[in-house]
């Protein structure tokens, strides 16, 4: 563990984590507790600026993100987030504000009108990055108390974990989640689709496009013999688990497969209860998977 871990992190859950994908939030908090990582939710946070909002109202989206960053800046800690989209929008705001003086002044004036200011000092981190690069292999391996070697996982990073910003991982073939899953003791199956798009919001706006993209991910994971797909993003998660019925029917093949967050896998490895990981929220049957593939060490 490095020094950053002992300082703790500010925490930005993001909108979809409050209800529809609360399993990600719940399992993140449980895993942090198990590892003695302090996560302090920032007060009265708002929407990050989001993939749906940013394109049509860019400067407003930067204000939305900057308001969150301004709140986090008061704590003097790094800001942990778990949604890939929040991760990119918060980072994009930091980057564009740093590079573009006109934008920086405009956003600064807007924040001031609402009684806030932001000096650009908050470092935004994905919780996956924190586990792998701050907590590290040794501390993670020490904590493992269940045998996951019978569980074959396909690690799916999604787009925005390593695109457009590729400093965390390779933008084409990311490996960070595979490293973590390996330390946790799971069997990692080769999954070349790790950074291919799930279709994002096109699953709603253009279902024929979204289902095709998610379908490729599901069929590849099944072909590779995975028992479960791991994700790091709430939208990827719902796309992957929510449409398996119609995708299976269209593909003429069984595409049903449990979809877990990497935090849920970590919690299983650390011996946490299903309730602490909100496993019952899954739309795909996770109980059988856990009973069959997760054993005592």
Partner 1 sequence: MVSTEAKQLCNQFLENVYAIPHGEKIKDCIQCGTCSASCPSSAAMEYGPREIIAALRAGMLDRVLNANTVWLCVSCYSCTVRCPAGIPFTDVMYELKRLEVDQGLAKDSAGAAMAKAFAGVVDRHGRNVETKLLRKYYLGTNPLKVLPQIPLALKMLAKGRLEFWPRTIRGIKGLRKMMAAIEENGTP
Residues that bind partner 1 (CB under 8 A): 15-16, 18-22, 44-47, 50-60, 63-64, 67, 95-96, 99-100, 106-107, 109-116, 159-160, 163-164, 166, 171-172, 196-197, 199-202, 204-209, 213, 242-243, 245-246, 280-281, 283
* Shortest distance (Å) from residue 149 CB to partner 1: 30
* Shortest distance (Å) from residue 82 CB to partner 1: 16
Q: Which is nearer to partner 1, 1 or 110 (CB)?
A: 110
Phi, psi of 172 (to 5 degrees): -100, -50
* Shortest distance (Å) from residue 120 CB to partner 1: 15
CB 215 within 8 A of CB 247: yes
* Shortest distance (Å) from residue 160 CB to partner 1: 7
* Shortest distance (Å) from residue 252 CB to partner 1: 19
* Shortest distance (Å) from residue 228 CB to partner 1: 18
How many residues are listed for the chain in this entry? 297
CA distance linking residue 280 with residue 271, whole number of Å: 16
CB 270 within 8 A of CB 139: no
The CA-CA-CA angle for residues 18, 23, 29, to 5°, reads 85
CB 153 within 8 A of CB 229: yes
The three-class DSSP label of residue 79 is: strand
Whether residue 165 is preceded by a cis peptide bond, meaning omega within 30 degrees of 0, is: no
CB 199 within 8 A of CB 211: yes
Q: Which is nearer to partner 1, 58 or 147 (CB)?
A: 58
Tokens matching residue 80 = 């942990």
CB 160 within 8 A of CB 266: no
Tokens matching residue 33 = 């507790």
Q: Edge-to-edge, what's the strand order for the sheet holding 79-81? A: 39-41, 9-12, 79-81, 124-126
Strand (E) or helix (H) holding 245 = helix 244-251
* Shortest distance (Å) from residue 155 CB to partner 1: 17
Q: Which is nearer to partner 1, 16 or 220 (CB)?
A: 16
Q: Which is nearer to partner 1, 280 or 297 (CB)?
A: 280
CB 203 within 8 A of CB 239: yes
Q: Which is nearer to partner 1, 63 or 177 (CB)?
A: 63
* Shortest distance (Å) from residue 136 CB to partner 1: 27
Phi, psi of 247 (to 5 degrees): -70, -40
């Amino acid at each position: 563990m490095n020094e950053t871990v002992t300082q703790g992190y500010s925490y930005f859950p993001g909108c979809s984590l409050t209800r529809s994908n609360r399993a990600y939030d719940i399992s993140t908090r449980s895993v942090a507790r198990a590892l003695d990582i302090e996560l302090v939710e920032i007060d009265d946070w708002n929407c990050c600026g989001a993939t749906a909002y940013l394109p049509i109202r860019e400067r407003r989206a930067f204000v939305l993100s900057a308001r969150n960053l301004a709140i986090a800046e008061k704590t003097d800690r790094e800001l942990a987030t778990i949604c890939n989209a929040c991760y990119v929008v918060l980072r994009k705001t930091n980057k564009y504000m740093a590079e573009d003086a006109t934008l920086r002044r405009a956003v600064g004036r807007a924040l001031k009108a609402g009684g806030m200011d932001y000096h650009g000092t908050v470092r935004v981190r994905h919780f996956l990055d924190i586990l792998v690069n701050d907590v590290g292999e040794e501390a993670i391996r020490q904590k493992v108390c269940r045998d996951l070697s019978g569980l074959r996982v396909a690690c799916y990073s999604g787009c925005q974990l390593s695109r457009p910003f590729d400093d965390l991982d390779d933008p084409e073939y990311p490996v960070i989640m595979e490293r973590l899953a390996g330390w946790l003791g799971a069997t990692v199956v080769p999954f070349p689709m790790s950074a291919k798009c799930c279709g994002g919001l096109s699953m709603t706006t253009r279902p024929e496009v979204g289902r095709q993209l998610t379908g490729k991910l599901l069929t590849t994971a099944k072909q590779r013999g995975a028992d479960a797909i791991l994700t790091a993003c709430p939208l990827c998660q719902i796309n992957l688990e929510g449409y398996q019925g119609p995708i299976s029917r269209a593909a003429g093949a069984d595409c049903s497969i449990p979809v877990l967050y990497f935090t849920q896998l970590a919690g299983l490895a650390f011996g946490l209860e299903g309730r602490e990981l909100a496993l019952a929220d899954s739309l795909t049957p996770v109980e059988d998977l856990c009973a069959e593939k997760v054993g005592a060490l």
